[in-house]
Amino acid sequence: MFDGLRFYVLSGHGADLRSTRAILLKKQLKSHKAVLVEDSASADVLIASAHCPCAVLNQHQSCPVQVSPNWVSESILAGRKLPYQGFLLRDLKEIETESRSVDSLEEDPRNQKEKLDSILDQRHACEALGAVNLNANISTVFEELEHIYSALGDKWREYTYKKAAGIIKRLSIVIETEDDVQSLHEIRGLGTKLVDKVREIVRTGSLQKLQNLKADPKITTLCTFAQVWGAGASTASRWASMGFKTLGDLEAVSDEQIVNRQQRIGLRYFEDFGTRIPRAEVELIAEKVRQALDGLLPGCQVVICGSYRRGNQTCGDVDLLVTHENEEKLQSVLRALISNLSDSGFLTDHLAMPSEACSSCGQPWSLSYMGVCCLDDSHRHRRIDIKVYPQQVFAFALLHFTGSEHFCRSIRHLAKKKGWTLSDLGISKVIRVNKQKVWKGESSVCLTEQAVFDLLGLAYVAPEQRNIFPDIR
């Protein structure tokens, strides 16, 4: 953001910018590609406290742009270099001497918290475009802990580490020194124990607690079992308590009460489902479905959603959305499609068949199929979801199934704060009393994703930018 711009940060010697603040500021600047220089004469921008005495500023007149630290934090929050106007120290001083209306940001204790929170990007994730994860070394450790506790069914710890990973991803400075670690104490949601873990990761490059969990065979078994499609923490724990130790043990079970039909499919393709699908193969799979649909109901629109639409190089599964202008015909096409593709051998196993839709009842509807497909013997078996939505709600479905999950959660949360409820089937005004919906309006018409963003007062976010916080190191 500050590409190549040269900064001089004025602190100490009566400049009134505390040293911890100056350290954080320098880090923020460096994280956003600024060049820090050691004397003001060679700087493009000088940063000093709003209360730096004029006499001190005058000694640095060779640097014509002198702004307050807020210009840096506000620019980072805005995701672009803001104009200097409104942050220039001379202007601030004039206002202050005229009316005393500008309170001392450095001195007012009410602003201390806000000031330190400026190292945390406060925007909703769906607004924080271009935000990057500067501390992936820390957030990935917390995410691993989140997944382990999810497999162990420990909801509270799962939630704690998920939240902590989210906070770490939103930091606008790289955490490297003890000062950086200390500054985390000021952030709500990061308690002492979590900050201690950050310190250990920063100092040693890893976390002993995570190593210990990963070295425990009971825990690795539970984690493996919980990864079987159709099994979660409680099934994994039940299997372990029955004495099963490996996937092979489970495959040998024929009792449907112990391993159900979907889990059996999950076990059969355990390795295939755990292997990511290259984009080119996703396209070949979608083409198969398009061709079959052409024969059944010409004019269908098929969009590959999920991580593919976000531009990822590999995908965990294939997420297809289908629509057609004729709602009645659309409603019956999915079952016909499934039987056609099963007959041809492309769909090898069914995990969840679509229910009956009800287009005549006037409510928005959708149909969903989950299964397994395989292009040919030279390819792996892949998870495929095919979902059908009428045209008038297709934009909501696109938004929902493009993800990422984090982006969608964020946009739904933002909609809620603005008095809306957003789903894959529409967006409506709601009134909540004590968090309970007491009234819900008709869904607004949005025929494009752009229209949904407009309605929410959000700048459009292209699918490729909906991966929140890609790592930069």
User: Given the rule CB under 5 A, which residues bind Mg ion?
Assistant: 306, 317, 319
| Spatial separation of the C-alpha atoms in residues 105 and 113, rounded to whole Å | 11
**429 carries an active-site annotation:** no
Closest approach, Cβ 310 to ligand DCT, in A, equals 7
- Residue 317 interacts with ligand DCT (CB under 6 A)? yes
350 within 8 A of 373, measured Cβ to Cβ: no
Closest approach, Cβ 279 to ligand DCT, in A, equals 11
User: How many CA atoms, within 13 angstroms, populate the side-chain half-sphere of residue 245?
Assistant: 3
For residue 12, give the amino acid letter.
Answer: G
| Spatial separation of the C-alpha atoms in residues 312 and 289, rounded to whole Å | 21
Residue in 148, 150, 203, 153 with CA at minimum distance from that of residue 175: 203
Contacting residues for 393 by C-beta, under 8 A, at least 6 apart: 364, 366, 424, 425, 426, 443
- Residue 224 interacts with ligand DCT (CB under 6 A)? no
CA angle 445, 449, 453 (to 5 degrees): 85
| Spatial separation of the C-alpha atoms in residues 261 and 256, rounded to whole Å | 7
Q: Residue 405 binds what, of ligand DCT, Mg ion, none (CB under 5 to 8 Å, by partner type)? A: ligand DCT
250: tokens are: 């489970």
CA angle 404, 316, 154 (to 5 degrees): 70
- Ordered DSSP codes for 220-277: HHHHHHHTSTT--HHHHHHHHHTT--SHHHHHT---TTTS-HHHHHHHHTHHHHTSPE
- Residue 306 interacts with ligand DCT (CB under 6 A)? yes
Strand order in the sheet with 420-423: 420-423, 426-433, 436-443
Answer for which of 319, 331, 394, 414 binds ligand DCT (CB under 6 A) is 319
Closest approach, Cβ 157 to Mg ion, in A, equals 26
Candidate ranges 23-31, 244-252, 279-287, 315-323; the one touching ligand DCT (CB under 6 A): 315-323
Closest approach, Cβ 110 to ligand DCT, in A, equals 38
Measured from the CB atom, the residue of 225 and 396 that comes closer to ligand DCT is 396
Closest approach, Cβ 448 to ligand DCT, in A, equals 19
410 within 8 A of 418, measured Cβ to Cβ: no
414: tokens are: 């933002």
Measured from the CB atom, the residue of 404 and 443 that comes closer to ligand DCT is 404
Candidate ranges 124-132, 164-172, 314-322, 445-453; the one touching ligand DCT (CB under 6 A): 314-322
Q: Among 115, 197, 429, 435, which one carries the catalytic annotation?
A: 197
Answer for which of 175, 210, 285, 315 binds ligand DCT (CB under 6 A) is 315
- Residue 307 interacts with ligand DCT (CB under 6 A)? yes
Closest approach, Cβ 163 to Mg ion, in A, equals 24
**Site map (CB under 6 A) of ligand DCT, residues 368-407, x = contact:** --------------------------------xx-xxx--
Measured from the CB atom, the residue of 277 and 334 that comes closer to ligand DCT is 277
Q: Which residue has the tokens 């991580």?
A: 307
Q: 139 φ, ψ to 5°? A: -65, -35
Candidate ranges 35-43, 46-54, 260-268, 312-320; the one touching ligand DCT (CB under 6 A): 312-320
Candidate ranges 120-128, 150-158, 316-324, 347-355; the one touching ligand DCT (CB under 6 A): 316-324
Measured from the CB atom, the residue of 266 and 306 that comes closer to ligand DCT is 306
Measured from the CB atom, the residue of 32 and 400 that comes closer to ligand DCT is 400
Closest approach, Cβ 306 to ligand DCT, in A, equals 3
Residue in 462, 350, 447 with CA at minimum distance from that of residue 392: 447
- Residue 49 interacts with ligand DCT (CB under 6 A)? no
Strands 6-9 and 45-47: parallel
Q: Supply the residues annotated as catalytic.
A: 197
- Residues at the interface with ligand DCT (CB under 6 A): 306-307, 315-317, 319, 400-401, 403-405, 408
